[in-house]
A and B are shown apart, each in its own frame.
Chain A
Amino acid sequence: MSGVELRNVTKAFGKAVAVRNLDLTVGKGEFLALLGPSGCGKTTTLRMIAGFTRPDSGEILIDGQPVSSLSVRERRVGIVFQSYALFPNMTAFENIAFGLRVRKLPEEEVRSRVFRLLEMVGLEDKANANCRQLSGGQQQRVALARALAIEPRVLLLDEPLSALDAKVRNSLRFEIKKIQRESGITTIYVTHDQEEALSISDRVAVMRSGQIEQAGTPWEVYANPSSLFVADFVGVSNFLDVEVKAGGTVFWNDRPLEVEGAGSLAPGPWRLVIRPERLLPVPKDAQEKNILEGTVAGRVFLGPIQRVALDVGKERILVDLLNTEKGHLSPGEPLRVSFSPGDGRLIRRS
């Protein structure tokens, strides 16, 4: 049984179609990141699962049960908002207890449950703090605990970390992941930050114009982007416009290249996608396949790596070099790089 399932769901606001014939299955206990640029429909999708927005057509199931007829209150979904949405007139304790008191649980049980949750998010000493006095990170922890308190069937997080600064964002990211793993709650996490999506989730679904462009493990999505959009949106890519000839030979500006799987492709114009870190420097006299030779146009120091802009013929490509490899590259210096046939991916040009 799946945790959340969307079947052929469509939602339009006036003429603008936000979500189009969307099919999505999230396994029970799975952590899915919904990744996409703003306006791609990811928040609308989340709001339809929560019950704030009603789909025009299609069906939504939670734990195998259709929820179209259920209101937000009845769906038992936990939601964490970008703006925290803590009740300003209540303390941290009261915020977390809110959903339990609504359910008229005995006060004894409310207390013990809330303190367990406070402990889980590391805020035992802030129980009676007014939420205005808490930092952004602490507020979001309270919000997370509040959402978990009702033991939701699904946990929905809408860009929960984008209002926080980088340091807090990183530490909270791993804490969310840890808590999710311990509680085993089906979780959908909406974000526009590809690094966040890749690092936190079991599976990433990349959305574009109301549809899912690709869904897979972070590794699959990064290594095997199924479309140019995904290749461009997730991570950094080089795009080489190539010609695939009959028999599987690939030509890039009349330069022959060897790419795995090219033999089974239809001849014609294709685009070759290579991640910059898959381009490895080779010595002058090396006789490897797929050697690209060019001159350094510039470089950016990024800490563990340096990103080099390399002019090959008339085109410019990016190469990531580990900082152990070459101390200093100056513009104008020659550089030879190569990639293995398995590291390039061909996607049809439209």
Chain B
Amino acid sequence: MERRGWKFLLLLPLAAVLGVFLVLPLLFVLFDSFWAAGRLSAANYLLVFRKGLYSEALRTSLALSVSTAFIGAALGLPLSYLVHRSRAPWRDLLLAITAVPLTFSGLVIGFAFIVLLGTSGFITMLLERFFGINPLEFSAFLFTWKGLVVAYLYFLIPRMILTMVAAWSNADWSQVEAAMSLGASFPTILVKVLFPMLGPSLLAGSSLLFAVSMGAFGTAFALTGTAVKILPLVIYNQISDVTVEVSRANALAIVLTVVTTLVIVLYERSFARKQA
């Protein structure tokens, strides 16, 4: 029947939960970020771009996210093709394996990489034994943002693979065959057919990877405490340190949210374009 207005009531619990535990806190952060020295001002935001620690944290986070997005795409693309091309039992196995890192807590991944690449980690020891590489020098990189790239990729590559597997199976191979039959060269096919076909998904996957690395800090926390100055950890430091004004942390948080939201909108747009 057409009397279906009551169904909107079913959305109320969801709206209430989101309102109380997400929208309200977010508004609080937003409002307070414009509060400095007892009045409304943009001083906190100016500080984000002026104060070395903050702007450097923003730069480090961006560097980390750009790197993971690019490397994740570069590694995820061939792996997703491997998953796409493999047959029944192998394909299921690959998909199951791919899902494993997705369910892990960031903390677990952080610790796993200490055991793997830390000062007395498995690979570090292997390299020392067979190539005489100094373990301290080798493992030092793990505790910089470059090390975070390596650890983050563990849970990001699977996301890339899942996005791209869908893209491969939706891809219209007859277009490639048509181009080949018309005598197109491989570079032409790549630029004119393959890229337009897979590009949107690649963009979607990369922006997802970017946004996730921008916001996550569990793995980084496990690896380095708050030693690596990425944006979420700097924010975390701000609130555990009583002497610092919370308003500054709020301004940082808003900057972070704006970046991740913009990237996520990009993700949704390119995803929608693919499905259209």
A and B touch in the complex (CB under 8 A): yes
Question: Helix, strand, loop or mixed for chain B's interface?
Answer: loop
Q: CA of A234 to CA of B1 in the docked complex: distance in angstroms?
A: 34
- Distance in Å: Cβ of A203 to nearest Cβ of chain B: 29
B1-44 contacts to A (CB < 8 Å):
1-2
Residues of A within 8 A of B1 (CB): 51-52, 54, 71-72
Q: CA of A71 to CA of B3 in the docked complex: distance in angstroms?
A: 11
Task: Check: A53 CB closer than 8 A to any chain B CB.
Answer: yes
Q: CA of A72 to CA of B3 in the docked complex: distance in angstroms?
A: 12
- Distance in Å: Cβ of A74 to nearest Cβ of chain B: 11
Residues of B within 8 A of A52 (CB): 1
Residues of B within 8 A of A51 (CB): 1
Residues of B within 8 A of A53 (CB): 2
Q: CA of A53 to CA of B1 in the docked complex: distance in angstroms?
A: 6
Interface size of B as a range: under 10
Chain A contributes a number of interface residues (CB within 8 A of B) equal to: 6
- Distance in Å: Cβ of B109 to nearest Cβ of chain A: 38
- Distance in Å: Cβ of A97 to nearest Cβ of chain B: 25
- Distance in Å: Cβ of B134 to nearest Cβ of chain A: 62
Residues of B within 8 A of A72 (CB): 1
Q: Across the two chains, which residue of chain B brings its CB closest to A72?
A: B1
Contact with B along A31-55 (1 / 0, CB 8 A): 0000000000000000000011110
A51-72 contacts to B (CB < 8 Å):
51-54, 71-72
Q: Across the two chains, which residue of chain A brings its CB closest to B2?
A: A54
Q: CA of A72 to CA of B4 in the docked complex: distance in angstroms?
A: 14
Q: CA of A51 to CA of B2 in the docked complex: distance in angstroms?
A: 9
A195-254 contacts to B (CB < 8 Å):
none
Q: Across the two chains, which residue of chain B brings its CB closest to A53?
A: B2
- Distance in Å: Cβ of A268 to nearest Cβ of chain B: 47
B100-143 contacts to A (CB < 8 Å):
none
Q: Across the two chains, which residue of chain B brings its CB closest to A73?
A: B1
Q: Across the two chains, which residue of chain B brings its CB closest to A52?
A: B1
Contact with B along A324-335 (1 / 0, CB 8 A): 000000000000
- Distance in Å: Cβ of A195 to nearest Cβ of chain B: 30
- Distance in Å: Cβ of A69 to nearest Cβ of chain B: 11
Q: Across the two chains, which residue of chain A brings its CB closest to B1?
A: A71
Q: CA of A61 to CA of B9 in the docked complex: distance in angstroms?
A: 33
Q: CA of A52 to CA of B4 in the docked complex: distance in angstroms?
A: 11
Q: Across the two chains, which residue of chain B brings its CB closest to A71?
A: B1
Q: CA of A54 to CA of B1 in the docked complex: distance in angstroms?
A: 7
Q: Across the two chains, which residue of chain B brings its CB closest to A51?
A: B1
Q: CA of A53 to CA of B2 in the docked complex: distance in angstroms?
A: 6
- Distance in Å: Cβ of B263 to nearest Cβ of chain A: 35
Residues of A within 8 A of B2 (CB): 53-54
- Distance in Å: Cβ of B106 to nearest Cβ of chain A: 38
Q: CA of A101 to CA of B65 in the docked complex: distance in angstroms?
A: 59
A63-108 contacts to B (CB < 8 Å):
71-72
Q: CA of A52 to CA of B1 in the docked complex: distance in angstroms?
A: 5
Q: CA of A53 to CA of B4 in the docked complex: distance in angstroms?
A: 11
Q: CA of A71 to CA of B2 in the docked complex: distance in angstroms?
A: 10
B46-64 contacts to A (CB < 8 Å):
none
- Distance in Å: Cβ of A265 to nearest Cβ of chain B: 46
Q: Across the two chains, which residue of chain B brings its CB closest to A54?
A: B2
Q: CA of A329 to CA of B115 in the docked complex: distance in angstroms?
A: 83
Q: CA of A175 to CA of B1 in the docked complex: distance in angstroms?
A: 32
Q: Across the two chains, which residue of chain A brings its CB closest to B3?
A: A54
- Distance in Å: Cβ of A111 to nearest Cβ of chain B: 33
Residues of B within 8 A of A71 (CB): 1
Q: CA of A54 to CA of B4 in the docked complex: distance in angstroms?
A: 12
Q: CA of A108 to CA of B148 in the docked complex: distance in angstroms?
A: 69
Q: CA of A54 to CA of B2 in the docked complex: distance in angstroms?
A: 6
- Distance in Å: Cβ of A67 to nearest Cβ of chain B: 12
- Distance in Å: Cβ of B5 to nearest Cβ of chain A: 13
A140-191 contacts to B (CB < 8 Å):
none
- Distance in Å: Cβ of A19 to nearest Cβ of chain B: 14
- Distance in Å: Cβ of B23 to nearest Cβ of chain A: 30
- Distance in Å: Cβ of A273 to nearest Cβ of chain B: 41
- Distance in Å: Cβ of B2 to nearest Cβ of chain A: 5
Report the 7 A-B pairs with minimum CB-CB distance, sorted nearest first: A54-B2, A71-B1, A53-B2, A54-B1, A72-B1, A51-B1, A52-B1
Task: Enumerate 7 A-B pairs (CB-CB under 8 Å) in ascending A order.
Answer: A51-B1, A52-B1, A53-B2, A54-B1, A54-B2, A71-B1, A72-B1
